[in-house]
Structure formats: C-alpha cells, structure tokens
Amino acid sequence: MALSQADVLAGIKEIVEEVAGIPAASIELNKSFTDDLEVDSLSMVEVVVACEERFGVKIPDEKVTELATVGDAVNFIVNAAA
C-alpha cells in the first residue's frame, strides 16, 4: 500500500511524542532524532518498532543507524511500503 510522505510524517510525529514526549509541532523532516529531538538509543528502538507496526513495514536493524533525521525515516518507510 502506498503511503504519502505527509501521512508518514504525521504518524512519526505522534509516535515520537508518545515515546519521547517531544511536542509534535517541533518535529520536522530535517530534525535529527538524537541531536535535535534527544531520542536516546533505547527510545529509538521503541520508535522503530512502533513505526513497523503502524506502517506495516520492516526496518532492519542495520538500516536504523542510517535513519539520522525524521526525513530519512519518512523516506525509508514510504519506499518500503511502495
């Protein structure tokens, strides 16, 4: 099922707010999970698993380290779901 970039971004915002308490309004495509949003390594695992469940995609562990920004994650998920 194709997902739009906007849908995925909205979903990630909800997940990051739920897991890390970051207000959705401050979550943008160019924000780094670790440097800007202060999502630590354990919480990042939660974000990844929640994304997998929500969007029905697999995010392999070796890919997670490549998802530095919210935009990286959005693009990965959109492509994986395509």
Partner 1 sequence: MSQRRVVVTGLGVTTPIGGDVATTWKALLAGQSGVRLLTEDWRELLPVHFAARVAVEPADQMERVEMRRLDRSEQFALIASREAWKDAGSPDDIDKERLGVVIASGIGGVITLLDQFDILKEKGARSVSPHTVPMLMPNGPAANVGLELQAKAGVHTPVSACASGAEAIGYAYEMIKSNRADIIVAGGVEAAIHQLPMAAFAQMKALSTRNENPAAASRPYDIDRDGFVLGEGGGVLILEEYECAKARGAKIYCEIAGQGLTSDGYHIAAPDPDGGGVQRAIKFALANSGLSTKDVVHLNAHATSTPAGDVAEANALRKALGADADHVAVSATKSMTGHLLGGAGAIESVFIVKALQERLAPPTINIENLDPAVTVDVVRGTPRALPAGDIAALNDSFGFGGHNVVLAFKSL
Binding-site member from 43, 69, 70, 77 for partner 1 (CB under 8 A): 43
Residue 60 C-beta: closest distance to partner 1, Å: 12
| Interface of this chain with partner 1, residues 6 to 35, rule: CB under 8 A | 19-21
The verdict on 36 binding partner 1 (CB under 8 A) reads: no
Residue 51 C-beta: closest distance to partner 1, Å: 12
16's CB contacts (< 8 A; 6+ apart) are 22, 24, 27, 33, 37, 39, 47, 70
Residues known to be catalytic: 40
